[in-house]
Amino acid sequence: MTAFETALGLVFEPYTLSMMLLAGAFGLFVGAMPGLTATMATALLVPVTFFMPPVPAIAMLVTATAMAIFAGDLPGALVRIPGTPASAAYVEEAYRLTQKGQAELVLGCGLVFSVIGGIFGSLVLALSAPVLAEFALGFSSFEYFWLALFGLSCAVFISTGRPVKGVVSVLLGLALATVGIDPTAGYPRFTFGSVELTGGVSFIPAMIGMFAMAEVLRWVTSPRRIEDLAARQKLGNVFRGQWQLFTRYRLNVLRANLVGTAIGVLPGAGADIAAWVTYALSKRFSKEPEKFGTGHIEGMVDAGTANNSALAGAWVPALVFGIPGDSITAIVIGVLFIKGMNPGPTVMLHNPEFLYAIFIIFVLANVLMLPLGWLAIKIFRQILLIPREFLMPLILILCVVGSFAINNSVFGVGIMLALGVLGWLMEANGFPIAPAILGLVLGEMIESHFMTSMIKANGNLLAFFERPVSAVLGVVTLVVWGWILLAQLRSMRRSTRPPHDPALIR
Amino acid sequence: MRVHDAVLGILLLLLAGFMAHAAAGFPPMPGQRFGPALVPFLLAAGFALSGLVLLASGLLSGRSQPLVSLEGWGEPKSRLVDVALVLGGLVLLIVFWHTLGFLISATLYATLLAGRLRGGRYASALFVCAPLCFIVDWVFRRILLVPLPQGPLTGLYW
């Protein structure tokens, strides 16, 4: 039996399929609830996946995230609140179309083009991952060091707000990763005598805290009102008019697929960045740019396609190099390690059936999105009626259980609480969260490759540029850092300009 | 909760000082020029530089921004109580984790929080939260075999 046939057998088991259906429903629910993100859906599912074989566990995570990204369009279109950050780019457009009575077209567009984007991204993943994995087999510690640093640099580069805050966020993640036994000499660092800290800051409670708990704290401190346009909308056949949209905007769809997947592949950038970039590109190259922002479907076609294609794209660096493409794959990498399927270039040699299973799951999850998404659109109004005052305490309880379950220790709950508060304060002060998480995930990898390289080169930093691939990666990373520095200098110059500067009064 | 950039800069400088001080005490690796202290030192340098940038930009922007503000909180006093309840409740949950067990402590916590968020309607909160916590306890303890503590309910079978 070939690896592909084994993978088919693993995916099409009734247990895996039923878990995918459950995860799909969960992902749709979380994505459709304003304020709850796809990353949060993944983080909350992790404790459940501990107790499963690898393939159903991964199937759950893939299905839940794909559904959550699509479902983020629902509250965006009907109540003007993006369900997930990946839908934020076109929420205004979607809402204005709904106000014009075109909710049916908007929601259908969100569903159909999410599926198209998701399937395209899955195909790119299936075709590129094995080729890249073979190429990466020749990598040494120098290349891995630069690649991981490049990923972190991209996370700072693309984060919104001031670059210095992105840098601080990365540094915080890396600093958290230094807690525990040092990977080279085996010396315990920053453990303050705690036995539990010698194992380091547990990754899953940190994630749950920084994404899920911080989200709850943000909701608790924000004004709570939901405008109910949803109740006034009539939703018939949401697939009507989608073929016409596809033929009219086929070039947009192709461009959005390519750009979305490429952004997903880039370490550190995910679905939300893909949506913003493709929306901007759509407007830039549109024949009717003046219609953007007034309730025009074109930008939504582009961004709705791109955010789902980026989702699969983000798995390419995660599987091939062990470097997460976005915050969701950062969590997934943790799960893969727990399941003993260490991601990296050798995954194709040691676990080919597992890799094929992931490709099949991606395509299947996107196909499943059509019936499940249709159902979600139909029952969405009921989902919105669930009082957030009950939901938020329940999410906190799930956060507690999830953090406890990783080591069956209440210490994990403490980590979740501390990092939840840190994540909440960071975001309130303009520090992006994703770079901190990437820093925490990649910290040990960067340090061990850096120290190995330093020992190999006897401290000669020029050795980091001696191998061709390493030199290219090194130069590209340094260019990104130069860019970040320039952006910071520009931002400081702007903030010191006198207030009567006409550039500030716009 | 927004904090002035200059204050954030000072906090980062303190963090850098702490990391550098702790790293100075790490032993070197035998036969090598660098050891476990190298990366923490580099990170401390990064924190110090970023702290200086934030301090400088904070000082340049002056006192137009308060040192700490609760901007965008709606009713700050009421929200502060909500935040205190979320965080304080979690601390108590950790403290009484083994004594009260998961089901009792989680039900109390969720009910108090939901009741407060619903403007003091604790009875309806209990009506919803108790079954929800029971389901979470049952799924994780019985199906997923997570050893959640049962406290005084130990020995009862469900």
pLDDT for the residue numbered A504: 35
pLDDT for the residue numbered B158: 61
CA distance A52 to chain B (A): 9
Whats the size of chain B, residue-wise?
Answer: 158
Categorize the per-residue pLDDT at B9 as very low, low, confident or very high, splitting at 50, 70 and 90. Answer: very high
| A contact test, residue of B146, B148, B150 with most A CBs within 10 A | B146
What residue spans define the domains of chain A? 3-224+251-492
List Cβ neighbours of B28 (8 Å cut-off, separation of 6 or more): B34, B35, B37
DSSP-assigned beta bridge partners for residue A188: A181
Q: What are phi and psi of B157, to 5 degrees?
A: -105, 115
Question: Residue A305 and residue A298: Cα distance in Å, rounded?
Answer: 11
DSSP-assigned beta bridge partners for residue A189: A180
- Mean pLDDT across chain B, nearest whole number? 88
Mean pLDDT for A362-367 is 90
Residue linked to tokens 């839940």: A64
Q: Is the pLDDT of residue A503 over 50?
A: no
DSSP A121: H
B139 to chain A: closest CA residue: A48
Q: Is the pLDDT of residue A266 over 80?
A: no
Question: Residue B87 and residue B85: Cα distance in Å, rounded?
Answer: 6
CA distance A486 to chain B (A): 13
pLDDT for the residue numbered A500: 45
pLDDT for the residue numbered B19: 95
Categorize the per-residue pLDDT at B128 as very low, low, confident or very high, splitting at 50, 70 and 90. Answer: very high
Which of A400, A447, A454 is opposite residue B93, by nearest beta carbon?
A400
Q: pLDDT tens-digit profile of A373-421?
A: 888 888 876 766 778 888 889 889 988 988 888 778 889 899 999 999 9
pLDDT for the residue numbered A505: 32
- Listed in sequence order, the DSSP H helices in A33-102 are 38-49, 54-71, 73-79, 91-99
pLDDT for the residue numbered A499: 47
- Mean pLDDT across chain A, nearest whole number? 83
Of the two residues A376 and B67, the one the predictor is more confident about is: A376
A214 CB within 8 Å of a chain B CB: no
Helix H or strand E encompassing A300? helix A297-313
Mean pLDDT for A323-347 is 80
pLDDT for the residue numbered A354: 84
List Cβ neighbours of B40 (8 Å cut-off, separation of 6 or more): A175, A178, A189, A190, B19, B20, B22, B23, B26
Q: Is the pLDDT of residue A230 over 60?
A: no
Of the two residues A189 and A345, the one the predictor is more confident about is: A189
What residue spans define the domains of chain B? 2-69, 76-153
Residues of B in contact with A393 (CB under 8 A): 109-111, 113-114, 117, 129
* ipTM > 0.95 (yes/no): no
CA distance A273 to chain B (A): 25
Question: Residue A154 and residue A149: Cα distance in Å, rounded?
Answer: 9
Categorize the per-residue pLDDT at B95 as very low, low, confident or very high, splitting at 50, 70 and 90. Answer: very high
Q: Is the pLDDT of residue B87 over 90?
A: yes
Residues of A in contact with B91 (CB under 8 A): 417
Which of B57, B98, B113 is opposite residue A495, by nearest beta carbon?
B57
A405 to chain B: closest CA residue: B146
Mean pLDDT for A17-42 is 83
Percentage with pLDDT > 70 across chain A: 91
Of the two residues A428 and A132, the one the predictor is more confident about is: A428
Q: Is the pLDDT of residue B155 over 70?
A: yes
CB B69 within 8 A of CB B2: yes
List Cβ neighbours of A500 (8 Å cut-off, separation of 6 or more): none
Torsion of the alpha carbons at A2, A7, A10 and A16, rounded to the nearest 10: -170
Which of A392, A410, A459 is opposite residue B97, by nearest beta carbon?
A410
Between chains, do B86 and A492 touch, taking CB under 8 Å as contact?
A: no
| A contact test, residue of B117, B137, B145 with most A CBs within 10 A | B117
Q: How far is Cα of residue A97 from the mean position of the Cα atoms in its chain?
A: 27
pLDDT for the residue numbered A130: 80
Question: Residue A329 and residue A311: Cα distance in Å, rounded?
Answer: 9
CB A100 within 8 A of CB A83: no
Of the two residues A493 and A45, the one the predictor is more confident about is: A45
Residues of A in contact with B150 (CB under 8 A): none
Q: Which residues of A46-63 are buried (b: 16+ CB within 10 A; e: fewer)?
A: bbbbbebebbbbbbbbbb
Strand duo A180-181 + A188-189: pairing: antiparallel
Between chains, do B140 and A401 touch, taking CB under 8 Å as contact?
A: yes
Q: Is the pLDDT of residue B15 over 90?
A: yes
Mean pLDDT for B135-151 is 84
Categorize the per-residue pLDDT at A179 as very low, low, confident or very high, splitting at 50, 70 and 90. Answer: very high
Q: Is the pLDDT of residue B63 over 70?
A: no
Which of B15, B72, B136 is opposite residue A401, by nearest beta carbon?
B136
Mean pLDDT for A257-267 is 83
List Cβ neighbours of A107 (8 Å cut-off, separation of 6 or more): A73, A74, A77, A235, A238, A377
Mean pLDDT for B79-99 is 91
Residues of B in contact with A149 (CB under 8 A): none
Q: What are phi and psi of B65, to 5 degrees?
A: -105, 135
CB A357 within 8 A of CB A55: yes
Q: Is the pLDDT of residue A232 over 60?
A: no
Q: Is the pLDDT of residue A300 over 80?
A: yes
Residues of A in contact with B87 (CB under 8 A): 417, 421
Q: Which residues of A406-436 are buried (b: 16+ CB within 10 A; e: fewer)?
A: beebbbbbbbbbebbbbbbbbbbbbbbbbbb
A185 CB within 8 Å of a chain B CB: yes
B86 to chain A: closest CA residue: A217
Of the two residues A342 and A209, the one the predictor is more confident about is: A209
pLDDT for the residue numbered B7: 92
Residues of B in contact with A185 (CB under 8 A): 27, 29, 35-36
Interface of A with B in 486-505 (CB under 8 A): 488, 492, 495-496
Question: Residue A399 and residue A483: Cα distance in Å, rounded?
Answer: 38
Q: Is the pLDDT of residue A69 over 90?
A: no
Q: Is the pLDDT of residue A158 over 70?
A: no
Q: pLDDT tens-digit profile of B113-126?
A: 999 988 888 999 99
